[in-house]
Amino acid sequence: MNGSRSFIGVDAGASHTRLIGLNPVEDDLAWLEAPGASMDLYGADGTAAVLAPLIRRLSSKAPAEVVAAVAGADSPAEQTELKEALIRQLDGWRVQVINDAHAALIAQLPTGPGAVLVAGTGTNALARRTDGQLFGLRAKGYLQGNYGGGLDLSRRAVHLAFRAEEGSGECSRLEQEVLALSGLSSYDQLSETLGRDRASLWPLVQRLPPLVMRLAAEGDHVCQDLLAEIGQALAGSVRAAVVRAEIGELPGLPVVLAGGLLGARSPHLEGPLAEALELSLRHPQLTHLSREPARGALFMAVSQHPELVPRVWTSPLRVLGAAASA
């Protein structure tokens, strides 16, 4: 029996954190949003310090059972490091750490073979065999072979805007629009700003992908080519995970598309992605994520209590609010 013990699912990425709590004596699920808490940004101790107060807020009676799906917690060593850091913050609680892509896959496809592609600020791909074994990528950014998230798209957009401005690349409306988003008056000023602090690009990361998609829809060929490049790179990530899982020959393999970049549903990105996957897999079935990844994490938290599982998927959410900070 679970008594009044609470169960909490966490989905933490670079841009946002979302938590869902289930208390068996209540009829709904508690929902909380907060800023991002990626291990790539904060490390294990920093991420635990951000998440622990949010987790406590969802538990009416500590300790609870928690599954935290966190971007950047990709390898078993990273997951163990974050788990230990969370346990230091949440003494006596039961904590499990998984990657955020895993939670997205479970949310949309709780069982069976399939794959998930997450493209938000960063990107990752994960495939699951029939026996439940998972196969993913390192997901450690451009230098380690990972390419296709919003940060990559933003960097490329700024790069192409500079090339258009200086005449070394093709003309594009990016030249005017990127400068306008920066709030600066010239590319010389933008160059000086980026030269002093590359992190100054970060405020543009959330604003540039929608801009690129809008310009592509309005006929800008540079933006269309950029989105096609991203789509093909993302397809390569899915293909790599599926090949590792040895499920590439399964016809109609489900592929879940998740993350803000894919959630925008730009045909100039998804078209090349779908075409590339069709060439390498046997008629894959692409579907957009329609459930919160935090529900996937919560499903794992209650997996030993079958009587609670239906509530994970069907109970309404009671919004506790948005936390400005931990």
In a domain, 118, yes or no: no
Helix (H, G, I), strand (E, B) or coil at 45: helix
- Distance, CA of 74 to CA of 324 (rounded, Å): 26
Checking if the pLDDT of 322 tops 70, the result is no
- Distance, CA of 295 to CA of 107 (rounded, Å): 6
Give me the CATH number covering residue 27: 3.30.420.40
DSSP for residue 113: S
- Distance, CA of 278 to CA of 280 (rounded, Å): 6
| Span 220-270, pLDDT tens digits | 999 999 999 999 999 999 999 999 999 999 999 999 999 999 999 999 999
Checking if the pLDDT of 178 tops 90, the result is yes
In a domain, 67, yes or no: yes
Provide the pLDDT for residue 198: 80
Count up the domains in the chain and report the number.
1
| Span 289-320, pLDDT tens digits | 999 999 999 999 999 999 999 999 999 999 98
| Span 17-37, pLDDT tens digits | 999 999 988 889 999 999 999
In a domain, 141, yes or no: no
In a domain, 242, yes or no: no
- Count Cβ atoms within 10 A of the Cβ of residue 75 and give its class: 0-12 exposed, 13-18 middle, 19 or more buried: middle
DSSP for residue 316: P
pLDDT-based confidence at 125, cuts 50/70/90?
very high
- Distance, CA of 92 to CA of 9 (rounded, Å): 17
* 254 in Cβ contact with 69 (< 8 Å): no
In a domain, 248, yes or no: no
Amino acid at 123: T
Checking if the pLDDT of 130 tops 90, the result is yes
Tokens standing for residue 260: 């803000």
- Distance, CA of 225 to CA of 57 (rounded, Å): 45
CA angle 168-172-178, nearest 5°?
100
| Span 60-115, pLDDT tens digits | 666 899 999 999 999 999 999 999 999 999 988 999 999 999 999 999 999 999 99
* 242 in Cβ contact with 235 (< 8 Å): no
- Distance, CA of 156 to CA of 229 (rounded, Å): 10
- Count Cβ atoms within 10 A of the Cβ of residue 16 and give its class: 0-12 exposed, 13-18 middle, 19 or more buried: middle
Domain residue limits at 79: 7-106+292-322
Helix (H, G, I), strand (E, B) or coil at 20: strand
* 64 in Cβ contact with 6 (< 8 Å): yes
Provide the pLDDT for residue 1: 41
- Distance, CA of 20 to CA of 302 (rounded, Å): 12
Segment 119-146 mean pLDDT = 93
Element (H, E) at 216: helix 208-217
In a domain, 120, yes or no: no
Provide the pLDDT for residue 61: 65
| Span 104-124, pLDDT tens digits | 999 999 999 999 999 998 999
Tokens standing for residue 118: 């997450």
In a domain, 61, yes or no: yes
Checking if the pLDDT of 201 tops 90, the result is no
Provide the pLDDT for residue 25: 87
- Distance, CA of 227 to CA of 212 (rounded, Å): 8
Can you say whether residue 59 is alpha, beta or left, with left for phi > 0 and alpha for psi between -120 and 50 degrees? Answer: beta
Element (H, E) at 115: strand 114-119
| Span 145-154, pLDDT tens digits | 999 999 999 9
In a domain, 189, yes or no: no
Q: Which residue has the higher pLDDT, 240 or 202?
A: 240
Provide the pLDDT for residue 4: 67
Residue 252, Cβ neighbours under 10 Å: how many?
9
